[in-house]
Every structure is written in C-alpha cells, then in structure tokens.
A and B are shown apart, each in its own frame.
Chain A
C-alpha cells in the first residue's frame, strides 16, 4: 500500500544535540512538507519541497534544515539552534497521482530532556 512513513514516532533529544526525523513516501508525489504542531495549536509550516533538489523555507524555518536528494525522501534535522523543539512534527506529501489529496505521516513526537 502507498503511503508516508515517518520515524521515529517518539524521540528524546538532549539540549545541544541535532536530531533528524525521517519521512519517506512511495506515492510518487512531487511535493513534500514538514509541519510543527504545538499542543492545542494549528500546523505551522517549517519547510517544503516542490521537486527533487529544491526546497523553500516556510514560516518557522529557523533552527531546522532539510534535504531532498531523492523524490521519496525529505528528512528534517532539528538543530541545536532551535530553542524550543519539543513538539509534534508532521510530514505531508501531495501529488496528482493521488488526486491532489494531502497525505500525512503518523507524526513524530520530539521531546527535549
């Protein structure tokens, strides 16, 4: 079955560490997105990529980095520069092969300890 896989589901980070969240899709979608969601809040866009080897900053890109070396993969690195990284992170993709429906991964919970 086609879909998006995020890993890990739960991650603990020590202060000063970089961590990378994985996002893989087998839907042949061109566009992929990373969102952050804080408790009781909406989704805020971190980065998005419309095509391989290209990506754009979203509204809250500071302290995060991404790469898009393969169509299927869009990993997000939460760097030590991100001062409040504890949140729920969601990866999404969209493409004409799926009728423009937005598909989400199950999300990753990141906690700073």
Chain B
C-alpha cells in the first residue's frame, strides 16, 4: 500500500461546480498535512495547511479525518483558474525535526466553461 494515495482523476467539471478530492495516508502517527497546487511544468505551491478541526480559505475547505486516515479538499464555485494538479502531503513531522515529506501522486482538475 502506498503511503499517500490520491485519485488521479482527471476531474472534469464546469465553472461554478463544487468538487471534492480525498487523500488517504497510511501512517496513523502522522500529524501534519498540506494541500499543494501544481500547474503544468511548474513547482508546487502551497494551497493550504490541514488542521485537525478543519479549515477554510475562501472557496477552499480542508478537513482531516484521523479515524479513517484521510484528508479532503473541497473547492466551491470552481473557476477556470483552478485547473491544476492538487497534491496532498504527509509532512511526517516529529518533535525532533522533520522526516520524509510524502506526496501523493496528485489529482488533476480541469474546469471548463
């Protein structure tokens, strides 16, 4: 089983749609998760951190479900500019510092007019 798994998509949605991605992780001790966005042929850029209580940033909502070991990203009112690949990250932090940064393979989103 992969350490972090994502549905590769692509998710093809019309503008204005609501779309949700899930990401499962295998390390039950993991504490720190992020969603990153990657445009074609570019480096990933931070979209948002994922907090235990869930967090929202404008049209984006991230949630963590520790019991089922998954994180989710909800995008409301999709824009054409949201078209990208979305990567989830298990940052595997620990009190002494940092361990591996484990990335999912990414979920591709294509928003069409």
Main secondary structure of the interface of A (DSSP, over half): strand
Chain B residues near A58 (CB-CB < 8 A):
100
Choose from A33, A101, A107 the contact partner of B46 (Cβ within 8 Å): A101
With A102-B36, A102-B46, A106-B43 in contact, do A31 and B87 touch (Cβ < 8 Å)?
no
B1: interface (CB < 8 Å): no
Choose from B43, B46, B98 the contact partner of A90 (Cβ within 8 Å): B43
Choose from B41, B46, B89, B101 the contact partner of A48 (Cβ within 8 Å): B101
B71-96 Cβ-contact flags toward A at 8 Å (1 or 0): 00000000000000001010101000
With A31-B97, A58-B100, A94-B98 in contact, do A102 and B106 touch (Cβ < 8 Å)?
no
Q: How far is the CB of A92 from chain B (nearest CB, A)?
A: 7
Chain A residues near B101 (CB-CB < 8 A):
33, 45, 48, 92, 94, 102
Chain A residues near B97 (CB-CB < 8 A):
30-31, 50-51
Chain A residues near B99 (CB-CB < 8 A):
50
B21: interface (CB < 8 Å): no
Residue total for A at the interface (Cβ-Cβ under 8 A)? 24
Q: How far is the CB of A109 from chain B (nearest CB, A)?
A: 8
Choose from A41, A92, A95 the contact partner of B105 (Cβ within 8 Å): A41
Question: How far is B32's CA from A95's CA once the two chains are assembled, in angstroms?
Answer: 13
Residue total for B at the interface (Cβ-Cβ under 8 A)? 24
Interface centre among B46, B91, B93, B101 (most CB of A within 10 A): B101
Chain B residues near A88 (CB-CB < 8 A):
41
Question: How far is B87's CA from A35's CA once the two chains are assembled, in angstroms?
Answer: 14
Choose from B42, B98, B100, B102 the contact partner of A30 (Cβ within 8 Å): B98
Docked-complex contact B98 and A107, CB < 8 angstroms: no
Q: CB-nearest residue of chain A relative to B93?
A: A100
Chain A positions within 8 Å of B, measured between CB atoms, are 30-31, 33, 35, 41-43, 45, 48, 50-51, 58, 88, 90, 92, 94-95, 100-102, 104-107
Besides A48-B100, A94-B98, 5 more A-B contacts (Cβ < 8 Å) are: A35-B103, A45-B100, A50-B97, A90-B43, A95-B98
